[in-house]
């Protein structure tokens, strides 16, 4: 019966969104994109697709961030068009979709404020779909109840916040708990709303949101191993709408390691037969991506989640007269943006250095050999077990240790939390008062030392650290090193002095410490200011 | 906590907001392994909306109660005041004019057909307009779906015209026969009423059916042009339903003499 009434309000928009969906890149498009050698080729290929000439106004040296930003902008425009043309049931449904972005933005701002980041920079990072009027005011809040009373109470996600008002301090752990509590409330609410819309929306969306809930349950479980989170607290974070409810989440709530998770999830073999946990427990962001890159076969759990999500979303389009197409379209498009960014990053690979031994101090990852990949924005290191992605701004010092033929780097990251957090926080997580990580790159081939060093210098000059204004003296521009082979010796000597200087605890490092102290003071001032408001 | 529970647990749903304990140990195939860790029962608050009292106080049920009680009051009033024989359906049918029945039949025939056509056209049209934004090539081809819906209204119109030619003002009988109208007139009036209803309903559902398929046809054509003809075949089958109504209407009216 739904077909008789659905088109009154939503027929036009459904036609539009299906038209958008037809513009999603196909396997042939991806084939062409992977053949590209530079980002300008990529731009040319994309202009032949539904994206059109969305990059035509960009200056020629394209960055992958620009591409992803522009693609996201286009997606948001399309979504806004749907939103302003929609009426009651559709508009509520579309609003529900934006709530998850709101939650992400709120968490991003809280985390950023906690780490004393610049408000404007944080606001730029926010997803445009999750913006609301008073979002900037989030940066002044210091406690969760204050946050709720001043800002959140006027937003549509206020009812979700009520459930986590008991958490008082805002620290890393509590923010993670708040985020998951919010998501739990959101998913349950959205699920119930979809059920109230009746079939086939209830059916298709039910499946999608059940999967979303299950994915969160599994992710929370795996990520909470070896953390302070107790099992009872963990159980409270699980959404109760998934297929794993109630039996499965009870099991997962008591699981101690990945094997138990696997055992619990395997019971639900109908829908979760796709989960084959990889041998290694590492779950770094880019694992599957680089596996495919080197024509490996093993896929990470996250990739399987993505794959299954895409499968469900595609299947949503097989039925007509339901609201899930809007949700599915957004999710598919986001996956497409992720894909294109990955492809762009591969094409952006400036330098590849094979057979590099990487040592960390403190040794968060055991000493291993792998391949280094340099892009404009990031440095990737891939071994047989691990994938690491490091933003250039996090590398505070890099220098050649000419005596041992190796490159020394200092990373501005907290060794305890660095690898366990999700990507978003990883790039944010510059805790100034914690010890840094030392990374020593030892290439098997001696001549690679210079290549690594030049690539690191290029990367550092392309990505100035937004926090450190006077960090220039650590960075050598590529121009300075143009004729490296000739002027190289002098540079190396200078770098040696930097390297030595670190051991002696002389000027440079103290300057760095001064920065730290100054930042800490600024942070205190903010804390003192805020309760008065 | 409003929660949909699986079939297995719903048998505990005796009352709303009732706290129950479900022991999960027996229900899990691998209980042997987990026995120690699963000794604590899971407590759920269940609520089943179909068992709640809200169901009996909905707006629709109140209308139903009102209608039923007022009908009962009228019937009992007639019965106990000695006017029970007024409740005579046969007498009512004999005394109402056949023209009323025939004209209601014509009206229903046109009205229901037009509603069906309109319904089909907006279902098809809104999808067609939306899909044509990104794939303009579909708009001319898919006009055929709109035409299929429109045809349904024309069926209704034709039948209504045929019906109306049967009425000539000759229905009044001689006083000696004891009935107000002639036998042909009674037959004609009832035949045109039910014939009109048949055609109208057939066209209404035909229009909805063609409309929904037409909407799917537009969307399918927009995403894959080869699908157009395949969906169109199904649409043609749908549009034949209206033709059935048309034929039935013509057969009914064939036996009716002018009245």
**B142 φ, ψ (degrees, to nearest 5):** -80, 0
**Nearest CB to A12 within list B9, B29, B126:** B126
CB pairs under 8 A between A and B: 93
A398 and A469 belong to one structural domain = yes
Of A333, A363, A397, the position where a domain reaches its end is A333
Beta bridge partners of A369: A357
Residue A531 has a pLDDT of: 41
Asked whether residue A343 is assigned to any structural domain, the reply reads no
pLDDT digits (tens, 9 = 90+) for A305-351: 888 888 889 888 988 899 999 999 999 999 999 998 888 887 777 67
Cα separation values, A43 from A37, A61, A63, Å: 11, 11, 11
More confident residue, A292 or A31: A31
More confident residue, B197 or B35: B197
Cα separation values, A492 from A90, A439, A456, A508, Å: 64, 19, 14, 17
Question: Of the ranges A14-23, A156-165, A499-508, which is most confident?
Answer: A14-23
Average pLDDT over every residue of A181-210: 91
Distance CA A162, CA A17 (A): 34
A297 and A394 belong to one structural domain = no
Question: Of the ranges A246-255, A257-266, B155-164, which is most confident?
Answer: B155-164
Cα separation values, B134 from A12, A51, A94, B220, B229, Å: 12, 13, 21, 13, 20
Under an 8 A CB cutoff, do A320 and B216 touch?
A: yes
Asked whether residue A108 is assigned to any structural domain, the reply reads yes
Residue B123: list chain A partners with CB under 8 A.
3-4, 7, 11
A368 and A486 belong to one structural domain = yes
pLDDT of residue A476 exceeding 50: no
Asked whether residue A340 is assigned to any structural domain, the reply reads no
pLDDT of residue A509 exceeding 50: no
pLDDT of residue B228 exceeding 80: yes
Residue B33 has a pLDDT of: 37
A329 and A402 belong to one structural domain = no
Is the omega angle on the peptide bond into residue A272 within 30 degrees of 0, that is, cis? no
More confident residue, A256 or B115: B115
Residue B138 has a pLDDT of: 92
Mutate to test the interface with B, among A2, A3, A15, A90 (most CBs of B within 10 A): A15
CATH number for the domain spanning A421: value is 2.30.29.30
Average pLDDT over every residue of A367-388: 73
Least confident of A260-264, A464-468, A517-521: A517-521
pLDDT of residue A4 exceeding 50: yes
Residue A247: list chain B partners with CB under 8 A.
24, 27-28
Average pLDDT over every residue of B143-162: 94
More confident residue, A394 or A288: A394
A160 and A238 belong to one structural domain = yes
Distance CA B200, CA B110 (A): 7
Distance CA A311, CA B89 (A): 62
Asked whether residue A201 is assigned to any structural domain, the reply reads yes
User: Over the range A303-339, which residues count as b (16 or more CB within 10 Å of their CB) and which as e?
Assistant: bbbbebbeebbeebbeebbbbbbbbbbbbbbebbbee
Question: How far apart, in Å, do the first and last CA atoms of chain B sit?
Answer: 68
pLDDT of residue A128 exceeding 50: yes
Task: Give the whole-number percent of chain B exceeding pLDDT 90.
Answer: 57
Cβ within 8 Å of A, B 10-29: 22, 24, 27-29
A384 and A513 belong to one structural domain = yes
A440 and A377 belong to one structural domain = yes
Residue A372 has a pLDDT of: 78
More confident residue, A44 or A302: A44
A263 and A300 belong to one structural domain = yes
A355 and A444 belong to one structural domain = yes
Residue A489 has a pLDDT of: 53
Average pLDDT over every residue of A123-148: 81
Asked whether residue A65 is assigned to any structural domain, the reply reads no
Helix (H, G, I), strand (E, B) or coil at A380: strand
Asked whether residue A70 is assigned to any structural domain, the reply reads no
Angle between helices A324-347 and A88-114 in degrees, nearest 10: 40
Of A306, A333, A360, the position where a domain reaches its end is A333
Asked whether residue A339 is assigned to any structural domain, the reply reads no
A127 and A231 belong to one structural domain = yes
Assess contact for A39 and A67: CB atoms under 8 A. yes
Distance CA A207, CA A243 (A): 9
ipTM of the complex: 0.71
pLDDT digits (tens, 9 = 90+) for B166-184: 888 887 877 777 788 888 8
Least confident of A424-433, A448-457, B86-95: A424-433
User: Over the range B164-174, which residues count as b (16 or more CB within 10 Å of their CB) and which as e?
Assistant: eebbeeebebe
Residue A305 has a pLDDT of: 80
Residue A106 has a pLDDT of: 87
**Nearest CB to B126 within list A7, A19, A241:** A7
Assess contact for B179 and B173: CB atoms under 8 A. yes
pLDDT of residue A513 exceeding 80: no
Assess contact for A260 and A266: CB atoms under 8 A. no
Asked whether residue A140 is assigned to any structural domain, the reply reads yes
A433 and A465 belong to one structural domain = yes
Token output for A170: 């805002």
**Which chain A residues touch B if contact means CB-CB below 8 Å?**
3-4, 7-8, 11-23, 192, 195, 240-241, 246-247, 250-251, 254, 263, 267, 320
- Which residue in the block uniquely carries the two structure tokens 């490296």? A484
pLDDT of residue A431 exceeding 60: no
Average pLDDT over every residue of B216-241: 94
pLDDT digits (tens, 9 = 90+) for B39-55: 444 444 444 445 556 66
pLDDT of residue A458 exceeding 80: no
A214 and A151 belong to one structural domain = yes
Domains identified in chain A, total number: 2
Q: How many of the other CB atoms lie within 10 Å of CB of A32? A: 18
pLDDT of residue A279 exceeding 60: no
The parent domain of residue A177 ranges over: 2-25+85-333
pLDDT digits (tens, 9 = 90+) for A64-120: 888 888 899 999 999 999 999 999 889 999 999 999 999 999 888 888 888 877 888
Average pLDDT over every residue of A176-188: 89
Under an 8 A CB cutoff, do A19 and B123 touch?
A: no
Question: Of the ranges A26-35, A168-177, A402-411, which is most confident?
Answer: A26-35
Residue A200 has a pLDDT of: 87
Residue B109 has a pLDDT of: 95
Residue A460 has a pLDDT of: 79
Q: Three-class SS string for A141-167?
A: CCCHHHHHHHCHHHCCCHHHHHHHCCC
A260: nearest CA partner in chain B: B34
**B67 φ, ψ (degrees, to nearest 5):** -60, -45
Q: Does residue B33 sit at the A interface (CB-CB below 8 Å)?
A: yes
Q: Which helix (H) or strand (E) holds A368?
A: strand A368-374
Residue A304 has a pLDDT of: 75
Distance CA A411, CA A427 (A): 12
Q: CA of A341 to nearest chain B CA: how many angstroms apart?
A: 25
- Residue A400's region, left for phi above 0, alpha for psi from -120 to 50, else beta, is beta
Q: What is the mean pLDDT of chain A?
A: 74
Question: Of the ranges A181-185, A288-292, B34-38, which is most confident?
Answer: A181-185
More confident residue, A485 or A1: A1
B44: nearest CA partner in chain A: A246
Beta bridge partners of A399: A408
pLDDT of residue A501 exceeding 90: no
Under an 8 A CB cutoff, do B34 and A7 touch?
A: no
B135: nearest CA partner in chain A: A19
Residue A174 has a pLDDT of: 81
Strands A437-443 and A351-361: antiparallel
Give which of A344, A363, A434 is closest to A394, Cα–Cα.
Answer: A434
Task: Give the whole-number percent of chain B exceeding pLDDT 70.
Answer: 79
Distance CA A240, CA A247 (A): 10
Question: How far apart, in Å, do the first and last CA atoms of chain A sit?
Answer: 55
């Amino acid at each position: 019966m739904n077909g008789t009434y659905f088109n009154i309000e939503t027929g036009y928009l459904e036609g539009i969104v299906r038209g958008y969906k037809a513009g999603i890149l196909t396997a042939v498009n991806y084939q062409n994109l992977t053949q590209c050698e530079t980002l300008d080729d990529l731009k040319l290929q994309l202009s032949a697709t539904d994206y059109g000439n969305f990059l035509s106004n960009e200056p020629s040296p394209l960055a992958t961030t620009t591409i992803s930003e522009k693609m996201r902008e286009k997606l948001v425009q399309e979504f806004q068009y749907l939103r302003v043309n929609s009426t009651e049931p559709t508009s509520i449904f579309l609003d529900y979709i934006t709530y998850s972005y709101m939650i992400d933005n709120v968490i991003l701002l809280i985390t950023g404020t906690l780490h004393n980041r610049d408000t404007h920079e944080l606001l730029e990072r926010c997803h445009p779909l999750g913006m609301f009027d008073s979002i900037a005011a989030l940066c002044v809040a210091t406690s969760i109840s204050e946050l709720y009373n001043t800002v959140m109470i006027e937003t549509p996600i206020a009812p979700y916040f009520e459930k986590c008002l008991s958490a008082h301090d805002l620290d890393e752990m509590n923010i993670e708990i708040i985020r998951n509590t919010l998501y739990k409330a959101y998913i349950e609410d959205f699920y119930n709303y979809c059920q109230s819309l009746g079939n086939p929306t209830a059916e298709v969306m039910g499946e999608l949101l059940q999967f979303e809930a299950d994915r969160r349950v599994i992710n929370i479980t795996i990520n909470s191993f070896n953390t302070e989170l107790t099992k009872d607290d963990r159980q409270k974070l699980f959404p109760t709408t998934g297929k794993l409810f109630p039996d499965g989440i009870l099991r997962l709530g008591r699981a101690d390691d990945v094997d138990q998770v696997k055992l619990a999830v395997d019971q639900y073999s109908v829908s979760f037969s796709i989960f084959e946990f990889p041998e290694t427990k590492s779950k770094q962001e880019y694992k599957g991506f680089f596996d495919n890159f080197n024509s490996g076969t093993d896929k990470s759990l996250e990739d399987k989640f993505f794959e299954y999500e895409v499968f469900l979303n595609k299947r949503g389009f097989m039925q007509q007269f339901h609201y899930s197409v809007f949700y599915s379209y957004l999710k598919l498009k986001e996956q497409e943006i992720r894909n294109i960014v990955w492809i762009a990053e591969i094409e952006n690979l400036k330098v590849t250095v094979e057979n590099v031994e990487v040592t960390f101090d403190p040794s968060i990852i055991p000493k291993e050999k792998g391949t280094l990949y340099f892009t404009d924005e990031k440095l990737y290191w891939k071994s047989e077990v691990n994938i690491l992605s490091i933003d250039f701004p996090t590398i505070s010092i890099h220098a050649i240790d000419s005596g041992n033929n190796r490159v020394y780097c200092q990373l501005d990251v907290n060794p305890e939390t660095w690898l366990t957090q999700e990507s978003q926080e990883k790039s944010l997580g510059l805790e100034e008062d914690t010890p840094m990580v030392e990374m020593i790159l030892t290439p098997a081939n001696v001549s690679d030392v210079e290549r690594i060093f030049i690539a690191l210098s290029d990367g550092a000059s392309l990505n100035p650290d937004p926090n450190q204004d006077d960090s220039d003296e650590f960075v050598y521009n590529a121009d300075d090193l143009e004729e490296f082979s000739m002027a190289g010796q002098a540079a190396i000597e200078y770098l040696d002095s930097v390297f030595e200087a670190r051991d002696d605890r002389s000027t440079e490092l103290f300057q760095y410490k001064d920065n730290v102290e100054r930042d800490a003071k600024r942070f205190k001032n903010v804390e003192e200011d805020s309760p008065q408001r | 906590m409003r929660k949909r529970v699986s079939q297995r647990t719903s048998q505990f749903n005796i009352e709303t907001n009732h706290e129950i304990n479900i022991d999960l140990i027996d229900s899990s195939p691998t209980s042997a392994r987990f026995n120690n860790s699963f000794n604590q029962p899971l407590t759920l608050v269940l609520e089943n909306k179909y068992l709640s009292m809200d169901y009996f106080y909905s707006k629709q049920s109140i209308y139903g109660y009102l209608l039923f009680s007022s009908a009962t009051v009228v019937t009992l009033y007639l019965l106990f005041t000695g006017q029970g024989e007024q409740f005579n359906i046969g007498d009512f049918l004999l005394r109402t004019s056949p023209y009323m029945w025939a004209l209601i039949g014509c009206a229903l025939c046109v009205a229901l057909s037009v509603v069906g056509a309109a319904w089909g056209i907006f279902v098809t049209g809104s999808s067609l307009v939306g899909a044509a934004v990104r794939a303009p090539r579909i708009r001319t081809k898919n006009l055929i779906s709109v035409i299929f819906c429109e045809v349904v209204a024309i069926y209704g119109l034709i039948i209504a015209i045929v019906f109306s030619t049967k009425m000539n003002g000759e229905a009044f009988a001689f006083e000696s026969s004891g009935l107000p109208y002639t036998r042909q007139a009674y037959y004609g009036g009832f035949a045109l009423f039910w014939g009109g209803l048949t055609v109208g309903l057939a066209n209404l559902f035909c229009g909805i059916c063609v409309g929904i398929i037409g909407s799917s046809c537009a969307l399918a054509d927009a995403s894959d042009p080869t699908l157009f003809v395949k969906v169109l075949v199904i649409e043609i089958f749908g549009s034949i339903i209206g033709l059935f109504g048309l034929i039935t209407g013509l057969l009914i009216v064939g036996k009716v003499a002018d009245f």
